Amino acid sequence: MKSDLDRLMKTRNLDAILVTGPAQHNPAMVYLTGGRHMTSADLIKPCGGDPLLYYNPMERDEAAATGLRTKNLAEYGFEDLLKQAEGDTVKALALRYQKMLTEQSITSGRMAIYGKIDVGAGYAVFSALRELMPDLEIVGETARDSMLLEAMATKDESEIEHMRQMGKITTTVVGNVADFLTSHQAKNGFLVDRTGEALKIGDVKRRINLWLAMEGAENPEGVIFAIGRDAGVPHSSGNADDLLRLGHTIIFDIFPCEAGGGYHYDFTRTWCLGFAPEQAQALYEDVFEVYHQIMAELEVGALFKDYQKRACELFEARGHPTIKEDATLQEGYVHSLGHGLGLHVHERPWSGSTATQDDVLHPGAVVTIEPGLYYPDKGMGCRLEDTVWVNLDGKIEVLADFPMDLVLPVGHGNH
Amino acid sequence: MKSDLDRLMKTRNLDAILVTGPAQHNPAMVYLTGGRHMTSADLIKPCGGDPLLYYNPMERDEAAATGLRTKNLAEYGFEDLLKQAEGDTVKALALRYQKMLTEQSITSGRMAIYGKIDVGAGYAVFSALRELMPDLEIVGETARDSMLLEAMATKDESEIEHMRQMGKITTTVVGNVADFLTSHQAKNGFLVDRTGEALKIGDVKRRINLWLAMEGAENPEGVIFAIGRDAGVPHSSGNADDLLRLGHTIIFDIFPCEAGGGYHYDFTRTWCLGFAPEQAQALYEDVFEVYHQIMAELEVGALFKDYQKRACELFEARGHPTIKEDATLQEGYVHSLGHGLGLHVHERPWSGSTATQDDVLHPGAVVTIEPGLYYPDKGMGCRLEDTVWVNLDGKIEVLADFPMDLVLPVGHGNH
């Protein structure tokens, strides 16, 4: 949680953190500012001290609205810095950081850097800063071991309110989609509208975006609405021109966020329109059973990756190949059980190959539980996913309820 | 243009480029892949050779849909790399890059890196790669001197089709907003709906998002719809709870993109509801005149920043302070004349303090022209902005037409 930041910084011997980039769609900056309309900014927080937000003058109101201490970047006179750097932009930017850090008495020790920006610019500027400030170690962490992601991995009540609200929005939209589909009729094995026109996946996706916008949410990474063989490939997003054929599995995976790049929700259902063939029904039941078995076994304080192992065992016992045996597997259970969720659609704790001994289901953790089975050559796949919170009492809570039924009934017109 | 990539790489002595990150909302990766639902990927392009896209196995269909040569990242066996790196994730990722590059015979020379990812992870991994491959210089560029941004700075006909379409969508939505506002009535100096309820900026913004979604566009960076004093601060996005007071300037700046983070459009109008007080009218006329003067003077092949100088002259001649005299200015003409636009909402060519001698209005350049005046203490501001293309014949074309009128008439109910 955010309240753990100083403790975590101390544990990792970090004397400061520096966050850079926009204050929208940039989880590190959104986490520390609350998210505002700022196209680029810097934030420096010493261990045990308050953050200082550096803003561009046109964005002074947005900066002020964060409630943080702020400073105008224009005070550093970029033109002069550029002269001092003999026209070298990278060096001018490094000189500016040096000034900012020196003013805050951060001239030695260890400083971790965060923020989604262009990797080339970041690499160059921080390499130059390292040369200017050799006593200051610049620490870069991956998604596997990031201090900030460790803080983000547990959520407090106010963050959970955001995620609950996104869960409500998500399930409302999923409900709209179900209603929309079942309001159609079947004709020659496909879903058609009142005029007999075949419905396409693109039509469904357009409505999903519209309904999300109506609820004030954003869908920056799109939605997976994939049928048949595409449902057999976990991250196939679905072909806009595909028709909705009855009796074929549809994977509907939706992971919207609050406007401006705030908290996400992540949710998947698998549907068959009209009826489910025996093979699809059997596939669904295997996933359904594993989902419920895992949910029943989840315990606060456990290693998340142990449940990945458990999911593999359960799927193997039902005769499916799993990723445990072969990392390049493309049939059977081919991905990890779930992942943390928050300002990133994928964050800590991890359950898959990137998981470590620190990926624990601590109180406050929010994770997806999303077992799935994929058989692209048989033209089918199934995934069931809910977002769960290990609440502050250590109980496991699904953040938004929605039925798991496989079959969505549709009327028969002139079938 | 994309067809210039090899020429530009040669000019800058780049033997290869490496692009990393998602294939959505990541301009470098979208540019080279066309944009697909990939949560993370790598792409390496040698100078004079075709790019090779490295994908995660679950995203193989999305990777294949790019039409590029592809390779499955799972083939590198991350678990083994991690063992080899003694559990150090950063080193394991650097080892993987080393393998990928060595297979492509890129082991020396200069390689530029691009892509929007976490700066800490990028800094750490590429610093480790530099140690593993000391003969390969890793080049990081800023937005001021980026080779890729130089390629992107001129657009071909197919890119312009995307931007024209976004211009159409943008002006359609702006028209919807104008119609929506003028369909309201005035009461006690504020806009009210049929029931007499005062309209709020938040109500307008919600509709903007909805209308954008209906047109298939996204609005990841929000919209500026700011009234009165907020209109006097260029990047104030506007307060959701503010009412729509007649006779106060409203700055409406909208910069949506294609779904998934594709091409943008950027557009601003300034409106007064009902009537314009003399001061607002005068402010508007100054901006209007400067806009048209600059538009008349724009010439292919000219330095973009020369028009910034010119805009300052024109505003000074009309008695306004300008940023030319003082970089920290907050009243008068306080920003640059415009910027390039494409997959980024701000890209090359630049006209402001980051502009160089290379920021030229070449055929193919797409830039915004957006003079503005800001007087927060007088509670007003005005900006007029269009997106223009220097077409391949060197003519200046506005990509989407829309009236510039200041006053939006509103009916009077029980005024």
The predicted-structure confidence for B372-389, as pLDDT tens digits, reads as follows: 999 999 999 999 999 999
Same domain, B128 and B187: no
Reading phi first (left if > 0) and then psi (alpha if -120 to 50, else beta), residue B386 is in beta
Contact list, A213 vs chain B (CB under 8 Å) = 209-210, 212-214
CA nearest neighbour of B154 among B18, B291, B259, B7: B7
Q: Which of residues 50-79 of A touch B (CB under 8 A)?
A: 56-62, 72, 74-75, 77-79
CATH of the domain at B123: 3.40.350.10
What value does the CA radius of gyration of chain A take, rounded to a whole number of Å? Answer: 24
Same domain, B254 and B391: yes
B90 close contact with A: CB closer than 8 A = yes
Same domain, A167 and A146: no
For residue A15, CA distances in Å to A8, A29, A104, A109 come to 11, 18, 11, 6
Q: Indicate the residue of A78, A121, A235 with minimum beta-carbon distance to B58.
A: A235
Query: Beta strands B407-408 and B267-273: pairing type?
Result: parallel
Query: How many Å apart are CA B408 and CA B410, to the nearest integer?
Result: 6
Q: Is the pLDDT of residue B94 over 70?
A: yes
- Give the angle A238-A241-A242 at the CA atoms, nearest 5°: 60
Number of domains observed in the structure of chain B? 2
Same domain, B61 and B200: no
Q: Indicate the residue of B116, B124, B346 with minimum beta-carbon distance to A117.
A: B116
For residue B76, CA distances in Å to A121, A327, A328, B49, B53 come to 28, 10, 10, 22, 14
A233 close contact with B: CB closer than 8 A = yes
pLDDT computed for residue A413 by the predictor: 55
And the tokens for A65?
A: 């609205």
A10 within 8 A of A36, measured Cβ to Cβ: no
Same domain, A69 and A202: no
Selected residue of B29, B71, B235, B241 to mutate for chain A interface (largest A Cβ count, 10 A): B235
Q: What is the pLDDT of residues B130-152, one digit of tens each?
A: 999 999 999 999 999 999 999 99
Contact list, B112 vs chain A (CB under 8 Å) = 120
Exposure string of A248-278, with b = 16+ CB inside 10 Å and e = fewer, is: bbbbbbbbbbbbbbbbbbbbbbbbbbbebee
3-state class (DSSP) for residue A75: helix
CATH of the domain at B214: 3.90.230.10
Q: Which of residues 382-401 of A touch B (CB under 8 A)?
A: none
Query: How many Å apart are CA A267 and CA A283, to the nearest integer?
Result: 19
pLDDT computed for residue A327 by the predictor: 77
> What long-range pairs does B317-325 form, CB within 8 A, spacing at least 24?
B318/B286, B318/B289, B318/B290, B320/B286, B320/B373
Query: Beta strands B109-114 and B136-139: pairing type?
Result: parallel
Contact list, A372 vs chain B (CB under 8 Å) = none
Structural domain boundaries enclosing A96: 2-150
Instruction: Establish whether the linkage from the previous residue to B234 is cis, with ω within 30° of 0.
Output: no
Q: Which of residues 118-177 of A touch B (CB under 8 A)?
A: 118-127, 138-146
Q: Which residues, 6 or more positions from B326, have their beta carbon under 8 angstroms from its beta carbon?
A: none
Query: Beta strands A366-369 and A407-408: pairing type?
Result: unpaired
CA nearest neighbour of A280 among A412, A408, A174, A188: A408
Alpha carbon of B23: minimum distance to chain A alpha carbons (Å) = 9
Same domain, A105 and A192: no
Q: Which residues, 6 or more positions from B298, have their beta carbon under 8 angstroms from its beta carbon?
A: B307, B361, B369, B388, B390, B396
Q: What is the pLDDT of residues B98-116, one digit of tens each?
A: 999 999 999 999 999 999 9
Same domain, B354 and B209: yes
Q: Which residue of B has its CA nearest to A376?
A: B61
B184 within 8 A of B410, measured Cβ to Cβ: yes
3-state class (DSSP) for residue B391: coil
For residue A156, CA distances in Å to A4, B125, B314, B372 come to 11, 32, 54, 43
B116 close contact with A: CB closer than 8 A = yes
**Taking the model in full, what pTM does it have?**
0.94
Query: How many Å apart are CA B17 and CA B136, to the nearest integer?
Result: 12
Q: What is the pLDDT of residues B17-69, one digit of tens each?
A: 999 999 999 999 999 999 998 999 999 999 999 999 999 988 999 999 999 99
Query: How many Å apart are CA A342 and CA A96, to the nearest integer?
Result: 32
Judged by CB atoms closer than 8 Å, whether chains meet at A221 and B79 is answered as: no
Place of tokens 């076994």: A297
Query: Beta strands A257-258 and A217-218: pairing type?
Result: antiparallel
Report, as ranges of residue numbers, the positions in chain A whose pLDDT lies below 70. 412-415
Same domain, B355 and B265: yes
And the tokens for A394?
A: 């250590």
Query: How many Å apart are CA A302 and CA A362, to the nearest integer?
Result: 8
Selected residue of B40, B55, B61 to mutate for chain A interface (largest A Cβ count, 10 A): B61
Selected residue of B118, B173, B337 to mutate for chain A interface (largest A Cβ count, 10 A): B118
Query: Beta strands B339-340 and B347-350: pairing type?
Result: antiparallel
Reading phi first (left if > 0) and then psi (alpha if -120 to 50, else beta), residue A144 is in alpha
Exposure string of B181-210, with b = 16+ CB inside 10 Å and e = fewer, is: bbebbbbeebbbeeeeeebbbebbbbbbbb
A137 within 8 A of A13, measured Cβ to Cβ: no
Query: How far is C-alpha B53 from the chain's CA centre?
Result: 25
A380 within 8 A of A232, measured Cβ to Cβ: yes
> What long-range pairs does B293-296 form, CB within 8 A, spacing at least 24?
B294/B337, B294/B369, B294/B371, B295/B369, B295/B388, B295/B396
Q: Which of residues 267-326 of A touch B (CB under 8 A)?
A: none
Query: For residue B139, how many other CB atoms are within 10 A of its CB?
Result: 22
Query: B191 - beta bridge partners?
Result: B186
pLDDT computed for residue A246 by the predictor: 97
Same domain, B161 and B119: no
Work out how many CB contacts closer than 8 A connect A with B: 235
Choose the final residue of a domain: B100, B123, B150: B150
pLDDT computed for residue A266 by the predictor: 98
Choose the final residue of a domain: A130, A150, A170: A150
B379 within 8 A of B358, measured Cβ to Cβ: no
CA nearest neighbour of A246 among A131, A407, A402, A370: A407
Contact list, B79 vs chain A (CB under 8 Å) = 327, 353
pLDDT computed for residue B413 by the predictor: 54
Contact list, A234 vs chain B (CB under 8 Å) = 58
pLDDT computed for residue B330 by the predictor: 87
Express as a percent the part of chain B with pLDDT over 90: 91
Query: A322 - beta bridge partners?
Result: A333
pLDDT computed for residue A354 by the predictor: 84
Q: Which residue of A has its CA nearest to B208?
A: A213
pLDDT computed for residue B2 by the predictor: 94
ipTM above 0.90, yes or no: yes
Contact list, B231 vs chain A (CB under 8 Å) = none
Q: What is the pLDDT of residues B337-347, one digit of tens each?
A: 999 999 999 99
Q: Which residue of B has its CA nearest to A259?
A: B220
And the tokens for A321?
A: 């190949």
Q: Which of residues 329-368 of B touch A (CB under 8 A)?
A: 330, 334-335, 345-346, 353-354
Selected residue of B25, B37, B123, B206 to mutate for chain A interface (largest A Cβ count, 10 A): B123
Same domain, B124 and B194: no
Same domain, A254 and A383: yes
Alpha carbon of A21: minimum distance to chain B alpha carbons (Å) = 9
B125 within 8 A of A142, measured Cβ to Cβ: yes
Query: How many Å apart are CA A153 and CA A2, to the nearest integer?
Result: 10
Q: Give the helix ranges, DSSP H, for A107-197.
A: 119-132, 147-152, 157-182
Query: How many Å apart are CA A288 and CA A63, to the nearest integer?
Result: 47
| Distance linking the first and last C-alpha atoms of chain A | 56
CA nearest neighbour of B280 among B245, B241, B306: B245
Contact list, A268 vs chain B (CB under 8 Å) = none
Q: pLDDT grade, residue B414 (50/70/90)?
A: very low
Alpha carbon of A102: minimum distance to chain B alpha carbons (Å) = 21
Q: What is the pLDDT of residues B303-345, one digit of tens each?
A: 999 999 999 999 999 999 999 888 778 899 999 999 999 999 9
Choose the final residue of a domain: B130, B150, B170: B150
Same domain, B136 and B185: no
Judged by CB atoms closer than 8 Å, whether chains meet at A140 and B117 is answered as: no
Q: Which residue of A has its CA nearest to B82?
A: A354
Q: Indicate the residue of A112, A115, A144 with minimum beta-carbon distance to B89.
A: A144
B224 close contact with A: CB closer than 8 A = yes
3-state class (DSSP) for residue B174: helix
Q: Which residues, 6 or more positions from B216, have their beta carbon under 8 angstroms from its beta carbon?
A: A206, A209, B169, B258, B259
- Give the angle A270-A237-B125 at the CA atoms, nearest 5°: 120
Q: Which residue of A has its CA nearest to B234?
A: A58
